[in-house]
Structure 1
Amino acid sequence: MLKTLGAQIKEYKNASIATPVFMLLEVLMETIIPLLMASIIDDGVNKGDTHHIYITGIWMIAAALLSLTFGCLGARFGAKASMGLGRNLRKAMFERIQTFSFANIDKYNTSGLVTRLTTDVTNCQNAYQMILRMCMRAPASLICAMAMSFFISPRIASIYLIAVIILGGLLILITLTAMRYFQQAFVKYDDLNESVQENVSAIRVVKAYVRENFEKEKFKKASANIRKLLVKAENVVVWNTPLMQFTVYSCIILISWVGAKMVVGGSLKTGDLMALLTYCMNILMSLMMLSMVFVMISMSGASAKRICEVLTEECALKNPEHPVYEVSDGSVRFDHVTFSYSATSETPVLNDINLTIQSGETIGIVGGTGSSKSSLVNLISRLYDVNEGAVYVGGKDVRDYDMKSLRNQVSVVLQNNVLFSGTILDNLRWGNKNATDEECIEACRQACADEFIQQFPDQYNTHIEQGGTNVSGGQKQRLCIARALLKKPKILILDDSTSAVDTATDARIRKAFREAIPGTTKFIIAQRISSVQDADHIIVLNDGKLDGFGTHEELLNTNAIYRDVYESQTKGGGDFDEGGAA
């Protein structure tokens, strides 16, 4: 874990090295000041040497200014290093997530990833700053102060040693107890973020069903769980201060009592006693700092582990050693394909699929809900890898292609149409960032989107809200289709992507496809028979198995499922979850 996080320090190594160096120098100056103060009292005040007081006082001021300077520099470089680490961790995680396959993404929920990129990174960067500054300053201050105390008076310094051992044991116990609660609390942040995310993204559904109170209670429960654990942790940590104060004051009383006797007896000077009292505070405050460092590290331990899970997650899909970069055509062949989302699953999602599709054909895919229609087309662009068999595109196994090159030639319009905040042109250019305005307009004409875009006051410069909330479902679908067409792909996949448009517009879109992109292989997943009946071939899936493959007329004569659904739809609007679908 430390190696993974340490690799993200990168360009902030110099700042990470400079911080503890300046902290050591600050401690050195602070250690010298009590000795100078003792010299002023013993060799200046007691002897009436004004010159010595002035000279030593100047040295004390110089030491204090140097201590302040070194402390400020340590704080500056520490902040730079820790903020830099946070920046690099966020960047590394975000870039890592972009490389994930669907199989990798399925392991994490969105709220968990958001927590890792925000709260967890903040915890780690705060802990890193504490480590660079306090983990160096506190031990160094303790060691230096303890050494100087033994140098002045071993008898009195033994009081420090006993206090340090007792207090150190108690602080370790407090830290270990608090650590358990902090680790549990930060995991609960996922539930809190999930509650907020679901509520905001689905606010229209919440209001439509008048479920505001339910959402409030869900958020309140998640927030209360975090509060409960953090309060438990703080109730343990709060013992740090009283224990520290009790130890400090006890040490001061003992030192004053023993030291006064030694001063009266002549075995200790008055200035040395004052220096010992100062070192007492340094030693015990160093322990206090160390305890807070341990608490911060314990708080960030769980966060660091969750960050490393993302950074070390191995992508389930990898490019071959010598990838193919050119896709020759849009032909597709499924060769005894069996697929399941989990390696431990007993029942495959797709079972022994054999299909051959020629380049330029239009293929309809129909079947009931859960018949694995989307799973089938996801294998074409290698969003998942098959468990058995192979999928061939352009005559080559998809696993032999460079994934970026393959996906650039396979445009997919998913069931969940997503638009991003920005203008219509900005969204369209997700398909081709270099597309001209004319190319965008032509793609929209083919997708039958131009007609409604022209009615907007700003037309193609109309702003789209995040998620496309200011356009209708049908408009969103047509914009997503236009975006896919701009890629000029060899294979176009429409995953139930015209379900929100009327049948007349659906027919016009399909007609435009036939005329404008005849060489592109088109896969159309649909529930309406009318959307696929003029396709070259139609695939009928049932429970992950190929139940039929042929033209509309052939399937009407040979496939019971297809025939039953066709008859139910022509008589009264049935779909593949009714009639013959099993």
Structure 2
Amino acid sequence: MLWKLLVQYLRPHRRLLIAVVIFQLAQSIASLYLPTLNADIIDEGVAKGDTGYILGTGSIMLLITLLQISCSVTAVYFGAKAAMGMGRDLRGAIFTRVGEFSEQEVTRFGAPSLITRSTNDVQQVQQLVLMSCTLMVAAPMLSIGGVIMAIRQDVQLSWLIAVSVPVLLVAVGLIVTRMVPLFRKMQVRIDTVNRVLREQLAGIRVVRAFVREGMETERFASANQDVTEMALRAGRLMALMFPVVMLVLNISSVAVIWFGSFRIDDGSMQVGTLIAFLSYLMQILMSVMMATFMAVMIPRASVSADRIGEVLATESSVTPPLNPVTSTAGRGELELLDVGFAYPGAEQPVLSGISFQARAGQTTAIIGSTGAGKTTLVNLLPRLFDASSGSVRIDGVDVRELHPDLLWGHIGLVPQKPYLFSGTVRSNLLYGKPDASEEELWQALAIAQAQDFVEQMDGGLDAPISQGGTNVSGGQRQRLAIARALVKQPELYIFDDSFSSLDTATDARLRQALKRHTSGATMVIIAQRVSSIADAEQILVLDDGRLVARGTHDELLETSETYREIVSSQLAAEEAA
């Protein structure tokens, strides 16, 4: 998977990579030529006392060194540019794919894991590319070129290269093979740390309300310790690698000097040649060491690439139609025909045999006990999930055949847990209709009973909203979410228990304003409070995933025992009568 990702996402940056190879090649040639010049200075200049030769050759070595530095800097620059570009493209690809996921895929991966994969995992692959451009490209050039140049200096000492290089490769290989599973476990444990931290930050009020700071501290400490232990185990192996490399390098150096001294003594080798051979051996072994440094990064990057590839290879269970319908009657009328839904692997379906119609200009309310399947039913309408059986239709067209933009353009959804984005009141209201006028924004706020508190906020429409809307109360957050849907002016409104944080008086005023403003639209309201839906033209009663009754409030009081139980649990006996 690592190789596949690199080939796919580095292809647009191939010109930069070609430039890296060219400059690294020039740098390598310069590095390979310098020991030979140094040997010439020793054997020809120093031995014969030729100062002119020493200065001339030394000047050439200085120019080559400057060229080497320039090529190295340029190669690193282009390599960094290619790595950063690949990281940007990879993060964009993950974001796009996650944006296509249904709730099912998001739940399967989990938000903390998806965040880790698009940040830490991408960074590991990006770092590998950067180090490859600066080290890995030069390593084979220097090692191969070093072998050739060393043999040119003295063939009889070349057996030292044939011994030291395989010994180094075997030693490093044994270490690296033990590091791969450790890195895989470490990435999973980083996911756990992110999950625990995310839960604690999101649920800080609950933690403090129940005085559980100590327990949460211990839970995070446990997850943090797991990551630390795994990192230490991998770090110990990594720490072992470089002493092994240096041991082989130093022993090889001693061997060259030992055996080379005998050849110098018998006159078959000069001192400069020995020093040049030693320099080439060091270049070869340093190249192998650079490769081993890359070998340390490859296992972790490979694990990260597998995790990234898993996200990119996952197809959404909600697939767009091949030949989408691009226009409808535009009334927003809703019809469900024998709809059923079951989560993958579940023994029992969440919904079974749901059939009803919601007409334009009417309010259809859905009520039921906790766990009856109300929110799951709502999620089927905008295709957050696809029905396992049956058909969900808008204006007579199955939602699976509608173009996604057309489908979502028809629907104004206010979820059970309203979410506001960081920015301002204005930016949140414009989310559904970017070209809405200021008059439309204030009108939506007035209908949602949010105008008064927005006017009192510092900045009005430009008042800041923190991530998730945490700087406003739960009721204000709900009303802003309702206003956001109203600005969009869709044909079908879906309110998923969207009035739960409102007091009774505000709830009543809001429902009256909604009825006047959305008289021509289809309204679907999920509610827990009977008072919020008592005036609906059609009330559907769900129980254990089945539609057990339908009718008006008065009709259901007479015909449905389940509805009467819900009403009696909320209202006094005289109100229920």
TM-score (norm 1): 0.95
Q: In the alignment, which residue of structure 1 is the partner of 2:9?
A: 8
CA distance in 1, matches of 2:210, 2:424: 31
Give the corresponding residue for 2:339.
337
- Residue by residue over 1:381-400, the C-alpha shift from the partner in whole angstroms, topping out at 9 and shown as x without a partner, is 22211111111110111111
Contact 2:5–2:305 (CA<8 Å) still a contact in 1? Answer: no
3-state SS in 2 of match to 1:541? strand
Task: State how far apart, in whole Å, the 2-side matches of 1:476 and 1:136 are.
Answer: 55
The answer for the alignment partner of 1:66 in structure 2 is 67
Change over 3 Å in CA distance of 1:175–1:568 after alignment to 2? closer
| Stretches of 4+ aligned residues off by more than 4 angstroms | 572-575
Match in the other structure for 1:189: 190
Alignment of 1:313-324 (within 5 A): 313-324=314-325
Kindly state the Cα deviation for residue 19 of structure 1 after the two structures are TM-superposed.
Answer: 1.4
Give SS of 1:107's match: helix
Query: How far did 1:351 drift?
Result: 0.4
Change (3 A) 1:252 1:456: closer
1:254 counterpart letter in structure 2: A
Q: Distance in 1 between matches of 2:32 and 2:220?
A: 51
Tell me which residue corresponds to 1:518. 519
State the partner residue of 1:206: 207
1:398 matched to 2:383: no
Please name the residue that 2:371 is paired with.
370
Matched residue type, 1:470: N
Which region of structure 1 is more displaced relative to structure 2, 233-242 or 363-372? 233-242
Q: Counterpart of 2:261?
A: 260
Sequence identity of aligned pairs in percent?
Answer: 38
Cα-to-partner distance string for 1:354-384 (whole Å, 9 max, x where unaligned): 1122222100100000101111122122221
Query: What displacement does 1:29 show?
Result: 0.7
- 2:102 equivalent in structure 1: 101
* CA shift digits 1:189-236 (9 cap, x unpaired): 001111221222222222222222222211211111111111111111
Q: Distance in 2 between matches of 1:452 and 1:378?
A: 31
User: Aligned with 1:64: secondary structure?
Assistant: helix
**Structure 1 position 574, deviation (Å):** 12
The structural deviation recorded for 1:428 is 1.0
Q: Work out the number of aligned pairs and report it.
A: 574
**C-alpha distance after superposition, 1:60-82 (max 9, x if no partner):** 11221111111111111111111
The code of the aligned residue for 2:242 comes to T
Contact 2:448 2:482 (8 Å CA) reproduced: yes
Map of 2:216 onto structure 1: 215
Rounded Cα–Cα distance in structure 1 between residues aligned with 2:22 and 2:5 = 24
SS in 2 for 1:154: coil
In structure 2, distance between residues paired with 1:379 and 1:124: 37
Question: Structure 2 CA distance, aligned partners of 1:573 and 1:130?
Answer: 77
Counterparts of 2:540 and 2:263, CA distance in 1: 99
Partner of 1:231: 232
CA drift at 1:132: 2.4
8 A contact 2:117–2:307 mirrored in 1: yes
Give the match for residue 47 of structure 1: 48
Taking the aligned partners of 1:63 and 1:36, their CA distance within structure 2 comes to: 10
> How far apart, in 1, do the equivalents of 2:459 and 2:561 lie?
50
- How far apart, CA to CA, are the structure 2 residues paired with 1:380 and 1:199? 32
Question: 310-319 or 556-565: which moved more?
Answer: 310-319
SS at match of 2:323: coil
Moved more, 349-358 or 476-485: 349-358
Structure 2 counterpart of 1:116: 117
Q: Is the 8 A contact 1:124 1:304 kept in 2?
A: yes
Partner residue, 1:580: none
Q: Give the letter aligned to residue 211 of structure 2.
A: V
Q: Deviations over 1:511-550 (max 9, x none)?
A: 1122111111001111111111110100000000010111
Report the Cα distance in structure 1 between the residues aligned to 2:167 and 2:98, rounded to whole angstroms.
Answer: 47
Per-residue deviation, 1:271: 0.9
Query: Conserved in 2, the CA contact under 8 Å of 1:366 and 1:527?
Result: yes
Secondary structure of the corresponding residue to residue 386 of structure 2: coil
1:10 Cα deviation from its structure 2 partner: 5.0
Q: Point out the more displaced range, 24-33 or 317-326.
A: 317-326
Measured in 2, the distance between the counterparts of 1:80 and 1:574 equals 71
Distance 2:476 2:241 in 1: 61
Residue 271 of structure 1 corresponds to: 272
Structure 2: stretches of 5+ with no match in the other structure:
none
CA drift at 1:498: 0.2
What displacement does 1:457 show? 4.1
**Aligned-partner Cα distance in 2 for 1:241–1:322:** 59
SS at structure 2 position matched to 1:7: helix
Are the counterparts in 2 of residues 4 and 311 from structure 1 also a CA contact under 8 Å? no
TM-score, normalisation: structure 2: 0.96
